[in-house]
Structure 1
């Protein structure tokens, strides 16, 4: 379930970036659909309205999906915190055995 939501979130974010880059900027630097005469839906005013509405829809879908993903991740956690999980103690090895009161020695290199 989470993988499907993540893929949809990725597709929405890519579409949002593309739609934002298609919009005509004030300086005209990145606007792909700028200029050109003619009327109808894809005139400069019509394109701006369609792109603005698309950006609004995709932005809202992005935030709603992010909230849904957070809820799904919380449900999958089963109410456990990272701090609630107890780890098994690792075996402790005695680095300095105290046999006969002697400290460890290195082998001779003879």
Structure 2
């Protein structure tokens, strides 16, 4: 199922690229291209190519979401490490805390960690 959706997704992507490249520039982007430049021009009605582009874009997004859902369902049951055959880390290899009762720094009266006095 995933392979079929992936092939359709790739075909949609290639077709969408081709359709966008074939279309005529309508201007507006970077100030170049067609358009008559009059402020009363308004937006022309959608052409067949524009409708085809919208349809391909919607289908591309739908297949993207479908592939995401399929991948999430497949990955929920198995870890990536399980697929590679790497043994899971055991909980005994976790670092241990120091044996002291507190994680606070040593008291000021303890001179064992103080730097030597400058002479």
Range class of TM-score, shorter chain? 0.5 to 0.7
Q: Tell me, in whole angstroms, the C-alpha distance in 1 between the residues paired with 2:87 and 2:19.
A: 51
Q: What does residue 73 of structure 1 align with?
A: 71
Q: Tell me, in whole angstroms, the C-alpha distance in 1 between the residues paired with 2:51 and 2:87.
A: 55
Q: CA deviation at 1:7?
A: 0.7
Q: What does residue 6 of structure 1 align with?
A: 6
> Following superposition of structure 1 onto structure 2, how do residues 15-54 of structure 1 map, counting pairs within 5 Å?
15-25=15-25, 26=27, 27=33, 49-54=47-52
Q: Tell me, in whole angstroms, the C-alpha distance in 2 between the residues paired with 1:4 and 1:54.
A: 22
Q: CA deviation at 1:4?
A: 1.1
CA RMSD in angstroms comes to 2.5
Where structure 2 has 5 or more consecutive residues not aligned to the other structure, the ranges are: 28-32, 35-43, 89-119
The structure, 1 or 2, with the larger RCO (C-alpha pairs under 8 Å, 6+ apart) is 2
Q: CA deviation at 1:57?
A: 0.4
Q: What does residue 36 of structure 1 align with?
A: none
User: How many residue pairs align between the two structures?
Assistant: 71
SS in 2 for 1:88: coil
Where structure 1 has 5 or more consecutive residues not aligned to the other structure, the ranges are: 29-44, 90-110
Q: What does residue 86 of structure 2 align with?
A: 87
Q: What does residue 60 of structure 2 align with?
A: 62
Q: CA deviation at 1:81?
A: 4.3
- Normalised TM-score (structure 2): 0.50
